[in-house]
Chains A and B, each alone.
Chain A
Amino acid sequence: MHDDPATVVLQQVLLEELAKVYGFGSTLADLQKLSGGASRETWSFDVSTPEGETVPLILKRDPVIVEPDGSISTEESRLGVTRATEGRLMELAGGAGVPVPDVAFYLSEDERTTEGFVMQRLQGEALGLRILREDAYADARLKLAFQCGHAAARLHGMQQTALPELQSLDVAEELAYHHELMSSVDHPYPGFEYGFRWLEERLELAGDAHTLVHGDFRNGNFLVGPDGLRGVLDWEIAHLGNPLNDLGWICVRSWRYGYLKKPVGGFGEIAELQAGYEAGGGGWVSEEAIRYWEVFGTLRWGMLCINMTFTHINGSHTSLEKAVIGRRTAETEYDLLQLID
């Protein structure tokens, strides 16, 4: 077992919850912190139930920062929903026919842990580059764009009255939000300024539907098996807004991991995405609208990079990872200016 105090505390917290959910005498094995992720902690573990069943699980929780006095705190995030809301959205999405892991139970924030939720650990690959490169996913790649379109349509069709409270932004408000974010940092970005103008002058291309938006619907947040899409992960910036946001975001060049000939996630064609979306009940969406939202998404990724840069520079907790992601701003500015005229 690990000697690391954070792991020991978490193990105790989980054991108490497991007794409630799976019965007294449940045991826990292979608790491991998974690498990657600039803003959340994910842990993998197995439960053995008193009935002798093994359940593979994943915990996702807000990052635990241990202060000098021994108390724990969370970094203030400007974007996104709480872990409780994220878990609830995944439960509802599963009911609406979106492939997602089942949520097993929740952790509330107390003096020992930050807020989190525990979900089923599905088998599959989430690393975007592996999905694009490995032979095991060759068949999956042929279906993925259609399946992603289908899943997007299912989540966009979710009953809004049943959803937890979410931030709601139309396209003009979302542009203004990101512009404000850029203006709030003390650094000029004329390339992005040009992108904002381009998008503002073409607002009529954006469409006016208003639904649940996943917010980070891209290669890298899809769990994929040899048979195709198994889970849509990372619902942390879900909000209400224009659904085409998700269809443009999946086309943003950064999420193609160098496989530039396939506009959808590096694995598929726009026509497949459109067909899947229509089959999932989302109606037909024009390529022009998807391209508008690809430009929007490229600019939005730039704003997220700028946000991370200045969280690192001005924040109370510096982070090497955030600092280096900050320089990915250049990738997004380059892509943006290639896409627009």
Chain B
Amino acid sequence: MSDATAGGAPRADHLLVADMVSPGARVLDVGCGDGALLRLLAERRDVDGRGIELSQKGVNDCVAKGLSVIQGDADADLADYPADAFDYVILSQTIQATRNPRVVLETMLRVGRRAIVSFPNFGHWRVRAALALGGRMPVTQSLPVAWYETPNIHFCTIRDFVALADEVGATVERAHALGPGGARLGAAHLGFWNLFGAQAAFLLRRGR
């Protein structure tokens, strides 16, 4: 079997997520795409991984690689899992594309003991500048698709996400922000992250 890095180096946000997962855990990756993160987790964290993916091509790719993936989406199919079925439920770069992000996050925290959410930050200065100065919806490295074609219907900033986590009664255990080049931003100050983070990843625990 080829390594998860066969198609190139692992993505920076995937490595960030992998850092948050303890070895040998039971993991559900919601919106797992072609399974790159699941394979990374299997190889580096020895997880028992499962996935949910909407696109048939994504599911086909995953199953062909030997991953346990079901066709479905976060809004419709997550609710069918029993409580505490997983140690971690991961939503990688997908929450902004769900119909009901709040319900999805609550369900993740029911199905998994912990939730890991990574997302593009709509508060990044380039986004703000595109909107404030250019007067156009931003098209950036993290948000590469024009507004009329994007599957992203619920954008949020890092501050917005922190507020949602608080609203659903979750505790932020760990958080990281990445700059546009994929480098981790050091200073753990929300305002700084919200301006200079192109994307962020949060590890949440159920309850306070």
Whether A and B are associated in the same complex: the answer reads no
Instruction: List residues of A whose CB falls within 8 A of some B CB.
Output: none
